[in-house]
Structure 1
């Protein structure tokens, strides 16, 4: 039993030594592992940071940069077109490499083929100096491109969005061999383009500007109509009132037998061209040679004045019952001007200017003069008119535009002189639209756009209330054209907010202004609303 106890005691003692030995071994092994890890860390991480916690990639050597791409293509805009004297154009340039990538930071050189015609700055700003053809060369790093421009006489701010107008008008001038033209375009009653093209006086080499004035011929008729409508709005006359009740101081010439239907002519009939006179039947009594006949009958040496023409015409028979038919009549608008004078006690010109034109800002609109030497300041010369015997004694053969007729005598029907900007000011001061203040009563545009009742306009799509008017797109399209020896004019007022005038200082062939208007209409229709310019040039032109 003792021996067994002794054996057990020995076993127990050996076991204790064994366990002590094993723990010592484990601790030694752990210390060795920690030592090795620390050594590895120090060799892999110079900062002493554990790479498993905060890895820091080592910088890799970079290859040499590729050589800079070379310029392969020089793109420029615009490349060609019409420019007018005084125009400035910023040339836009894009440089590209062989793969089509745009390049920056490269030197660009601009050169003009003729600095007397057009200069170009180091930054690519082109300025037109004179008339001719010029080539602009743009180069960079041995590559180049060119733009060619035809430089024409003219003036006014260039509007890139409406460059199509420049092309159309310049082409028209060359095609018809016209001396010049002026164009004004508004959108939503803002003046977005005002340009002169060609020559105001071709013989003198005077270049057309945007502010030159023209005889506007029958564009004068809307002015007279608006004056009458404004008087009606103020209660100073009634549009259904007999004309010769208002002009009862005018009597037929002695011995004349008046047409009884004169008493049936109402004020509105004169505005609507339904007064009873048809110039295609009996002739235009306000025009040569009828003016000569009237002067002879009155035994006066020079052209008769307006009242003398009216008194002579009162002794002639009407061509139809008043109000029953439309027939364009200059005489009717001579009568309207006299009504304005009789009702207001002012001259026709003074009333219109003081009450309508000057408040509208159209201060340079006036009744014009007959003779070349009496041209107004800034008025064009009228070209290509035939030679005829003057209506003024002692002047012999004259250019028809300068003495073949009396311009002041035509006041209400065709005597006004205006710039394009001023006529558009007048238009937008009477049209009832919201963007510019109207200077007339609200009944004026309402009456213009109201279709007349009665047989004269039954079954027609167009009526005449100072302007030629027709319904279109839920609104109204207004227009009028005019012509005298040496001038053609037209105004268009569209429902889409676009309006324009075209004035020419030559007669041209046919109704050239209307033809140009039709040509111009389609390109203007194609311009999206977002691409129309937003500026207003009214404040920059007298």
Structure 2
């Protein structure tokens, strides 16, 4: 769930494919009215060709530089059955890209002196979180943000926590207590915690980011969803962004599609109890405002999400033991890996029927995002990387001074 290779825990039932082949369904791009740098026909053709090769029905892409969204585009189909086009306002489930928003909220609290990255999280919790193999070793905020806390998703992947077509009934607090506290319904000494001591090894962890969201709520005095709405979404005028399935209008939502026997098949949107790890839904026109600030030292226009030093701290990449070879580094929430030969901070997301990516180029204060309503595949991954690289290239061409 919610990573480069999400692994469904149940089989998708076979359905009849709705509509004709993808090549006959691709629609022209739908451009945001606020675009400063409309992409060329060459870029549009490139993106649509990548979509055809990867069998992606709908895609949204954007580029930002110097704290300003330069463009946000929709391509293809949001709903095949209704032939509804993707627009810049279409809301996609962005899956694990959610984690960089959760990390940003934690860093806002750190800036305000509400927490210290290297202090034990136990100072702020209402239940114990202790690796039973290392009962005397504290788990810290920095460890949660860098996937080195020793909390493990192993048991998480053995259980299907998803709710189809609705939000999870299980609250975040109850989910965490059942998973992390001895005697909890999903607790396992060996499945919920790794054999490595806290801080010793990298182990990607959705549960850890769920815990960060719970901590943000306790420290900030209000549910983190309300904090992000108040401190991030509203200041950035992000009107098409939601934490819940319930508050994502169907008319503005991209239908997720998985591949069954080679055919695109609609799947229900999913809800998970660990919403801080991957439940955010947003449009490209909205989310690019967040990307613009992240690429620009924490500021977009008059809105300061984070101070420059704090944003740089998030993007300070380290290489903990166990970091997989396809990653170049791990920051605070953000990761780093090569894109066309250049190492760039990024984060990817995947859940049933969706695959997403965000990349930053801090040296040029620029960033890109790509959202799709097709499940993870090798072809989809290649397409997203190619499109991200082409967006950076196109933007560089458009902003290069004329001689």
State the TM-score, normalizing by the size of structure 1.
0.57
The structural deviation recorded for 1:486 is 1.0
The structural deviation recorded for 1:451 is 3.9
The structural deviation recorded for 1:188 is 3.0
Q: 2:178 aligns with which of 301, 312, 316?
A: 312
Conserved 8 A contact 2:61-2:371: yes
The alignment yields a C-alpha RMSD, in angstroms, of: 3.9
Residue-by-residue CA offset, 1:249-296 (whole Å, 9 max, x unaligned) = 4679xxxx95544852111100000010344xxx251x5x5146x99x
Q: State the partner residue of 1:479.
A: 346
Structure 2 unmatched ranges of 5 or more: 1-22, 183-188
Residue-by-residue CA offset, 1:316-346 (whole Å, 9 max, x unaligned) = 3421111101111101100000001111121
| Change in CA separation of 1:486 and 1:244 when aligned onto 2, cut-off 3 Å | same
- CA–CA distance in 1 between the matches of 2:338 and 2:28? 39
Q: State the partner residue of 1:521.
A: 389
Q: State the partner residue of 1:156.
A: 31
| Change in CA separation of 1:151 and 1:181 when aligned onto 2, cut-off 3 Å | closer
Q: State the partner residue of 1:332.
A: 208
Q: State the partner residue of 2:235.
A: 359
SS of corresponding position for 2:106: helix
Conserved 8 A contact 2:43-2:394: no
The structural deviation recorded for 1:354 is 0.3
Structure 1 unmatched ranges of 5 or more: 1-131, 134-149, 296-301, 388-398, 535-542
> May I ask how many residue pairs the two structures share in their alignment?
355
| Change in CA separation of 1:224 and 1:521 when aligned onto 2, cut-off 3 Å | same
- CA–CA distance in 2 between the matches of 1:322 and 1:400? 41
SS of corresponding position for 1:440: coil
SS of corresponding position for 1:380: coil
State the TM-score, normalizing by the size of structure 2.
0.75
Conserved 8 A contact 2:337-2:346: no
| Change in CA separation of 1:485 and 1:386 when aligned onto 2, cut-off 3 Å | farther
Residue 413 in structure 1 maps to residue 277 in structure 2: yes
Q: 2:54 aligns with which of 171, 176, 183?
A: 176
Q: State the partner residue of 1:427.
A: 291
Higher relative contact order (CA 8 A, sep 6+): 2
Q: State the partner residue of 2:95.
A: 217
Structure whose CA Rg is larger: 1
- CA–CA distance in 2 between the matches of 1:331 and 1:368? 18
Q: State the partner residue of 1:462.
A: 329
- CA–CA distance in 2 between the matches of 1:525 and 1:444? 28
Deviates more, 1:420-429 or 1:269-278: 420-429
| Change in CA separation of 1:193 and 1:451 when aligned onto 2, cut-off 3 Å | closer
Residue 343 in structure 1 maps to residue 210 in structure 2: no
Equivalent residue runs for 1:231-242 within 5 Å = 231-242=109-120
Equivalent residue runs for 1:91-490 within 5 Å = 152-156=27-31, 162-249=40-127, 258-261=132-135, 263-279=137-153, 283=154, 285=156, 287=157, 289-291=158-160, 304-314=170-180, 315=182, 316-317=189-190, 318-319=193-194, 320-369=196-245, 375-384=249-258, 401-402=267-268, 405-407=270-272, 409-430=273-294, 431-432=296-297, 436=301, 437-452=303-318, 461-469=328-336, 477-490=344-357
SS of corresponding position for 1:175: helix
Conserved 8 A contact 2:48-2:75: yes
The structural deviation recorded for 1:440 is 2.4
